[in-house]
Structure 1
Amino acid sequence: MAADEAAAKAQVVADDDTTTKPVLGFQDADEALPQYHIEAQTSLVERPLRSLKYGEAFAVLDTHGDIGVFAGPEGIYFQDTRYLSRLAFTVEDQRPLILSSVMQDDNGALSVDMTTPDIRIDAQDETSIPRELIAIERTKFLFKGTCYDRIGLRNYDTRRRTLKISVTFDADFRDLFEVRGTNRTRFGKRSVQVANENTVQFRYVGLDEIVRSTSLHFGPTPKRIEPGRAEFEVTMNPGEHTSMFIRVVCDSHRAFTSVPTEQRAGEDAAAALSRAAGSSGGERATRGLSEGRIFARAYRDNRRDQRQLTAGITTIISSNDQFNESLCRATADLYMLASRTQEGIYPFAGIPWYSTVFGRDGIITAMMALWIDPNFGKGVLRFLAATQAKAVDPAADAQPGKVLHETRRGEMAMLGEVPFRHYYGTIDGTPLFVMLAAEYYAVTGDLDTIKHIWPALKLALDWIDTYGDRDGDGFVEYIRETENGLANQGWKDSHDSIFHADGSMAKAPIALCEVQGYVYAAKKGAAKLAVLTGHSELAIKLEKQAYALREAFDKAFWNDDIGTYVLALDGDKRQCAVRSSNAGHALFTGIAKPERAQQVADQLLCNDGYNGWGIRTIAKGEARYNPMSYHNGSIWPHDNAMIAMGFARYELKPEATRVFQGLFDTSLYQDQKRLPELFCGFMRRRQRGPVNYPVACSPQAWAAATPFALLASCLGLEIVHDKNRIRLRNPMLPHFLDAVTLYNLKLGNSRVDLRVHRHGDDVTVAVERRTGDVQISLLK
Structure 2
Amino acid sequence: MDDVIQIDDQWYYAAGSQKTDSRNQVLKQGNTFAVLDLLGDISRTGLGEQGVYHLGTRHLSHWELLINDRRPMLLNSTMKEDNSVLMVELTTPDIHEGDRLVLRKGELHASRSIIIEGAILYENLKLTNYSNAPLVFEIKYHYAADFRDIFEVRGNHRSRRGSLLPVEVDSDSALLKYRGLDQIERSTEIDVQGKEQTVSDKEANIRIQLQPGESDTLRTIVACQNDQIPVTKRSQQQAIQQVSTFIDQFNQERTCIQTSNEQFNDWINRSTSDLMMLTSETPHGPYPYAGVPWFSTPFGRDGIITALQTLWIHPQLSKGVLNFLAATQATELDPVAESEPGKIFHEIREGEMAALGEIPFRQYYGTVDATPLFVILAAHYYWRTGDLEFLEKIWTNIKRAIAWIDSYGDPDRDGFLEYMRQNEDGLKQQGWKDSDDSIFHADGNNAEGAIALSEVQGYVYAAKNRAADLAEIFGEKEWASQLRAEATDLKKKFNERFWVDSIGTFAIALDGEKNPCAVKNSNAGHLLYTGIVEEKYVKRLAETLMDEDTFNGWGIRTISRGELKYNPMSYHNGSIWPHDTALCAAGLSRYGYQSECTRLLVGMFDVSCFLEWHRLPELFCGFDRINGHAPTLYPVACAPQAWAAGSVFMLLQSCLGLKFYSHLSEIRFENPMLPPAIQWISIKNLRMGEATIDCTLRRHPRDVGMNVDRKEGNVKIVLVS
* TM-score calculated relative to the size of structure 2: 0.97
- Letter matched to residue 642 of structure 2: A
What is residue 681 of structure 1 aligned with on the other side?
A: 622
2:63 is equivalent to residue 113 of structure 1: no
What is residue 150 of structure 1 aligned with on the other side?
A: 124
Aligned-partner SS, 2:647: helix
- Contact 2:505-2:541 within 8 A present in 1 as well: yes
Which structure has more relative contact order (CA 8 Å, sep 6+)? It is 1
Aligned-partner SS, 2:580: helix
Structure 2 unpaired stretches of 5+: none
CA distance in 2 between partners of 1:467 and 1:222 (Å): 66
What is residue 305 of structure 2 aligned with on the other side?
A: 364
The one of 634, 650, 659 equivalent to 1:693 is 634
What is residue 171 of structure 1 aligned with on the other side?
A: 145
What is residue 97 of structure 1 aligned with on the other side?
A: 73
What is residue 455 of structure 2 aligned with on the other side?
A: 514
- Contact 2:6-2:12 within 8 A present in 1 as well: no
Q: CA deviation at 1:298?
A: 1.8
- Letter matched to residue 231 of structure 2: G
2:312 is equivalent to residue 352 of structure 1: no
- Letter matched to residue 110 of structure 2: I
CA distance in 2 between partners of 1:44 and 1:424 (Å): 33
- Contact 2:585-2:597 within 8 A present in 1 as well: yes
- Letter matched to residue 236 of structure 1: L
CA distance in 2 between partners of 1:543 and 1:345 (Å): 33
What is residue 55 of structure 1 aligned with on the other side?
A: 30
Q: CA deviation at 1:40?
A: 5.8
CA distance in 2 between partners of 1:303 and 1:581 (Å): 39
CA distance in 1 between partners of 2:18 and 2:624 (Å): 21
Structure 1 unpaired stretches of 5+: 1-31, 255-278, 287-293
Shifted more, 620-629 versus 536-545: the winner is 536-545
- Contact 1:144-1:280 within 8 A present in 2 as well: no
Q: CA deviation at 1:413?
A: 0.7
Q: CA deviation at 1:183?
A: 0.6
Q: CA deviation at 1:773?
A: 2.0
CA distance in 2 between partners of 1:669 and 1:695 (Å): 18
What is residue 27 of structure 1 aligned with on the other side?
A: none
What is residue 443 of structure 2 aligned with on the other side?
A: 502
The one of 62, 71, 76 equivalent to 2:52 is 76
CA distance in 1 between partners of 2:196 and 2:393 (Å): 55
CA distance in 1 between partners of 2:103 and 2:319 (Å): 58
- Contact 1:326-1:673 within 8 A present in 2 as well: yes
CA distance in 2 between partners of 1:345 and 1:488 (Å): 28
Aligned-partner SS, 2:103: coil
What is residue 670 of structure 1 aligned with on the other side?
A: 611
CA distance in 2 between partners of 1:198 and 1:37 (Å): 44
The one of 359, 367, 374 equivalent to 1:433 is 374
Aligned-partner SS, 2:21: coil
For 1:21-40, what aligned pairs fall within 5 Å after superposition? 35=8
The one of 199, 209, 215 equivalent to 1:241 is 215
Query: 1:156–1:554: structure 2 CA closer, same or farther, 3 Å change rule?
Result: same
Query: 1:659–1:761: structure 2 CA closer, same or farther, 3 Å change rule?
Result: farther
CA distance in 1 between partners of 2:11 and 2:179 (Å): 26
Aligned-partner SS, 1:208: coil
What is residue 709 of structure 1 aligned with on the other side?
A: 650
For 1:503-542, what aligned pairs fall within 5 Å after superposition? 503-542=444-483
- Contact 2:299-2:346 within 8 A present in 1 as well: yes
What is residue 268 of structure 1 aligned with on the other side?
A: none
Aligned-partner SS, 2:407: helix
The one of 103, 120, 139 equivalent to 2:113 is 139
For 1:298-317, what aligned pairs fall within 5 Å after superposition? 298-317=239-258
What is residue 195 of structure 1 aligned with on the other side?
A: 169
- Letter matched to residue 143 of structure 2: F
For 1:568-717, what aligned pairs fall within 5 Å after superposition? 568-717=509-658
Q: RMSD of the alignment, in Å?
A: 1.4
The one of 228, 231, 242 equivalent to 1:281 is 231
- Contact 2:172-2:197 within 8 A present in 1 as well: no
Shifted more, 170-179 versus 592-601: the winner is 592-601
Aligned-partner SS, 1:487: coil
Q: CA deviation at 1:533?
A: 1.9
What is residue 182 of structure 2 aligned with on the other side?
A: 208
CA distance in 2 between partners of 1:43 and 1:433 (Å): 41
Q: CA deviation at 1:438?
A: 0.6
- Letter matched to residue 469 of structure 1: D
Q: CA deviation at 1:280?
A: 5.1
- How many correspondences in the alignment? 714
CA distance in 1 between partners of 2:468 and 2:407 (Å): 18
CA distance in 2 between partners of 1:222 and 1:661 (Å): 57
Aligned-partner SS, 1:617: coil
The one of 659, 663, 672 equivalent to 1:718 is 659
The one of 194, 197, 201 equivalent to 1:227 is 201
- Contact 2:6-2:155 within 8 A present in 1 as well: no
2:335 is equivalent to residue 385 of structure 1: no
- Contact 1:134-1:157 within 8 A present in 2 as well: yes
Aligned-partner SS, 2:102: coil
- Contact 2:253-2:316 within 8 A present in 1 as well: no
Query: 1:697–1:363: structure 2 CA closer, same or farther, 3 Å change rule?
Result: same
- Contact 2:9-2:435 within 8 A present in 1 as well: no
What is residue 25 of structure 1 aligned with on the other side?
A: none
Aligned-partner SS, 2:353: helix
Q: CA deviation at 1:599?
A: 1.1
Render the CA deviation track for 1:170-228: whole Å, top value 9, x for unaligned.
Answer: 00000000000001111111124243211101111100111111100111255221101
CA distance in 1 between partners of 2:78 and 2:343 (Å): 42
Q: CA deviation at 1:612?
A: 1.1
2:688 is equivalent to residue 744 of structure 1: no
Q: CA deviation at 1:305?
A: 2.5
Aligned-partner SS, 1:727: strand
Q: CA deviation at 1:43?
A: 6.7
Q: CA deviation at 1:578?
A: 0.3
Render the CA deviation track for 1:31-50: whole Å, top value 9, x for unaligned.
Answer: x9764666766575421111
The one of 557, 562, 571 equivalent to 2:498 is 557
- Contact 2:112-2:123 within 8 A present in 1 as well: yes
What is residue 261 of structure 1 aligned with on the other side?
A: none
- Contact 1:250-1:280 within 8 A present in 2 as well: no
Aligned-partner SS, 2:646: helix
Q: CA deviation at 1:676?
A: 0.5
- Letter matched to residue 331 of structure 1: T
Q: CA deviation at 1:760?
A: 2.7
CA distance in 2 between partners of 1:552 and 1:572 (Å): 16
CA distance in 2 between partners of 1:34 and 1:441 (Å): 44
Aligned-partner SS, 1:128: strand
- Contact 2:169-2:201 within 8 A present in 1 as well: no
The one of 459, 471, 474 equivalent to 2:412 is 471
Q: CA deviation at 1:137?
A: 1.0
- Contact 1:37-1:180 within 8 A present in 2 as well: no
- Letter matched to residue 200 of structure 2: E
Aligned-partner SS, 2:373: helix
The one of 137, 157, 161 equivalent to 2:135 is 161
- Contact 1:198-1:221 within 8 A present in 2 as well: no
- Contact 1:40-1:695 within 8 A present in 2 as well: no
Q: CA deviation at 1:741?
A: 0.4
CA distance in 2 between partners of 1:740 and 1:680 (Å): 31
CA distance in 1 between partners of 2:700 and 2:106 (Å): 51
Aligned-partner SS, 2:528: helix
Aligned-partner SS, 2:667: strand
Render the CA deviation track for 1:400-459: whole Å, top value 9, x for unaligned.
Answer: 111010000111111111000000000000000000001000100111111111111111
- Contact 1:44-1:695 within 8 A present in 2 as well: no
